[in-house]
């Protein structure tokens, strides 16, 4: 099915920030998803350039060919509520792994056959696998928000191991992997970050400066510093693990900004979406000069951008919106 509407915009506002020497801009284009009100989200790009995403409200996995505007769809069981997906490349092509958020499983879709394999959570309390990420050997680490776990799925065997988070109602949310294969997690129900020791499955919780902080998404720059968005207080933060140092910056829209989706490009430039303003807008942050340097409105308004994927080969950031679009922000 082809998208009927394409929304395009090239907007860059530099009015309220001093530009750094390395300031970058983005060009945004959006494709309207043909299945209405499906909450398309959490895109991931395969090696052929297809953009895969989940339809959280309509329980499907979809993909977009950006060159033709054609969409394809693979239906999941009713009530699955897929929350996130990631793509592995195998001998027979792309394999899609997704979080069956409302059905207590992680699923594997082989697009070449349409066969879906479900790996159920081993503990009934781990009812809502949330966000997935690969480590360097292709195993999957993931968060379980309501169940209060961090998990690891060994993809070769299907074995799932769970680590309970000691803070009650911590709501482990965003997850990233550093260059040492250590998972880092944001506790959206508290003011803490988590660092996992991959060897002995122990965890360390790092408390942020403010009790009211609610970190939601994370990114890691090439120096292995951990960056987070504080959704509650409207802050961008950096944790330096070696120095055990926290530094925070107020987002341009302040506390109302509700920073959520976040990506880092090949130049260690951060891109953050302020979801508390309408339209949602991309904010650029230069991690060298430590300055915000651009603001770009999302043409559809977006509603909310929850998670983003940086496709390094093309210099593109992909995102889904509550306006029922899949969007691309091309970095210049």
DSSP secondary structure string, 110-133?
A: ETTTTEEEEEE-SSTT---EEEEE
Can you read off the two tokens belonging to residue 168?
């009650």
Tokens 């997850």 belong to 175
- Check if the beta carbon of residue 119 is closer than 8 Å to that of residue 142: no
Residue % of the chain over a pLDDT of 70? 93
Going by C-beta distance under 8 Å and a sequence separation of 6 or more, which residues neighbour residue 47? 89, 94
Rg (CA), the chain: 19
Q: Return the SS3 of 256.
A: helix
303 DSSP assignment: S
- The predicted-structure confidence for 193-226, as pLDDT tens digits, reads as follows 999 999 999 999 999 999 999 999 999 999 999 9
254 DSSP assignment: G
CA-nearest of 145, 139, 147, 100 to 119 is 100
Cis peptide before 279 (omega within 30 of 0): yes
- The predicted-structure confidence for 154-181, as pLDDT tens digits, reads as follows 999 999 999 999 999 999 999 999 999 9
**What mean pLDDT value characterizes the chain?**
94
- The predicted-structure confidence for 218-235, as pLDDT tens digits, reads as follows 999 999 999 999 999 999
Q: Residue 73, exposed/middle/buried by CB under 10 A (0-12, 13-18, 19+)?
A: middle
Q: Residue 125, exposed/middle/buried by CB under 10 A (0-12, 13-18, 19+)?
A: middle
Enumerate long-range contacts of 190-197, CB under 8 Å, 24 or more apart.
190/214, 191/215, 192/167, 193/218, 193/226, 193/228, 193/239, 194/150, 194/165, 195/241, 196/141, 196/150, 196/163
Supply the pLDDT for residue 11: 37
Mean pLDDT of 277-291: 97
- The predicted-structure confidence for 73-131, as pLDDT tens digits, reads as follows 999 999 999 999 999 997 778 999 999 999 999 999 999 999 999 999 999 999 999 99
- Name residue 174's beta-bridge partners: none
- Check if the beta carbon of residue 176 is closer than 8 Å to that of residue 192: no
Strand order in the sheet with 6-9: 6-9, 26-32, 325-331, 316-320, 308-311
Q: What's the first-to-final CA gap in the chain, in angstroms? A: 30
- The predicted-structure confidence for 298-330, as pLDDT tens digits, reads as follows 999 999 999 999 999 999 999 999 999 999 999
CA dihedral 139, 141, 142, 143 (to 10 degrees): 160
- Check if the beta carbon of residue 39 is closer than 8 Å to that of residue 74: no
- In which band, very low, low, confident or very high, does the pLDDT at 12 lie, cut at 50, 70 and 90? very low
CATH number (2.40.50.140, 2.130.10.10, 2.102.10.10, 1.10.1760.20) of 6-331 reads 2.130.10.10
Supply the pLDDT for residue 3: 54
- The predicted-structure confidence for 39-68, as pLDDT tens digits, reads as follows 999 999 999 999 999 999 999 999 999 999
d(CA 7, CA 253) in angstroms, rounded, equals 25
Mean pLDDT of 11-19: 42
19 DSSP assignment: P
Mean pLDDT of 241-257: 97
Please report, for the chain, the start and end positions of each structural domain, with discontinuous segments joined by +: 6-331
CA-nearest of 309, 299, 250 to 278 is 299
Strand order in the sheet with 172-177: 172-177, 183-187, 192-196, 203-207
Supply the pLDDT for residue 295: 96
Supply the pLDDT for residue 93: 85
- Check if the beta carbon of residue 320 is closer than 8 Å to that of residue 329: no
300 to 137, 157, 207, 324, 326: CA distances (angstroms): 38, 43, 37, 9, 10
Mean pLDDT of 272-299: 97
């Amino acid at each position: 099915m082809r998208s009927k509407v394409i929304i395009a915009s090239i907007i860059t506002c530099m009015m309220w920030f001093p530009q750094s020497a390395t300031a970058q801009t983005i060009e945004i284009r959006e494709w309207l998803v043909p299945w209405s009100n499906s909450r398309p989200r959490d895109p991931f790009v395969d090696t052929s350039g297809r953009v895969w995403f989940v339809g959280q409200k309509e329980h499907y996995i979809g993909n977009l060919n950006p060159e033709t505007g054609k969409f394809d769809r693979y239906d999941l069981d009713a009530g699955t509520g897929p929350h996130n997906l990631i793509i592995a490349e195998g001998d027979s092509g792309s394999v899609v792994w997704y979080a069956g958020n409302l059905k207590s499983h992680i699923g594997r879709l082989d697009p070449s056959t349409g066969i879906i394999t479900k790996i159920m959570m081993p503990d009934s309390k781990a009812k809502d696998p949330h966000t997935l990420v690969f480590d360097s050997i292709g195993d999957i680490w993931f968060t379980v928000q309501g169940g209060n776990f961090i998990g690891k799925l060994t993809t070769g065997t299907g074995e799932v191991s769970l680590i309970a988070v000691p803070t009650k109602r911590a709501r482990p949310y965003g997850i990233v992997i550093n260059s040492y294969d250590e998972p880092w997690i944001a506790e959206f129900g508290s003011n803490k970050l988590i660092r996992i020791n991959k060897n002995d499955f122990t965890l360390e919780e790092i408390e942020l400066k403010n009790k009211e902080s609610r970190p939601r998404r994370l990114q890691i720059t090439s120096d292995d510093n951990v960056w987070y968005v504080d959704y509650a207080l409207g802050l961008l933060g950096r944790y330096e693990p070696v120095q055990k140092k926290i530094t925070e910056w107020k987002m341009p829209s302040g506390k109302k900004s509700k920073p959520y989706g976040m990506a880092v490009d090949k130049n260690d430039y951060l891109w953050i979406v302020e979801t508390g303003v309408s339209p949602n807008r991309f904010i650029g942050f230069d991690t060298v000069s430590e300055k915000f340097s651009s603001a770009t409105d999302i043409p559809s308004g977006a509603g909310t951008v929850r998670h983003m994927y940086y496709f390094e080969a093309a210099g593109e950031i992909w995102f889904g919106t509550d306006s029922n679009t899949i969007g691309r922000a091309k970095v210049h």
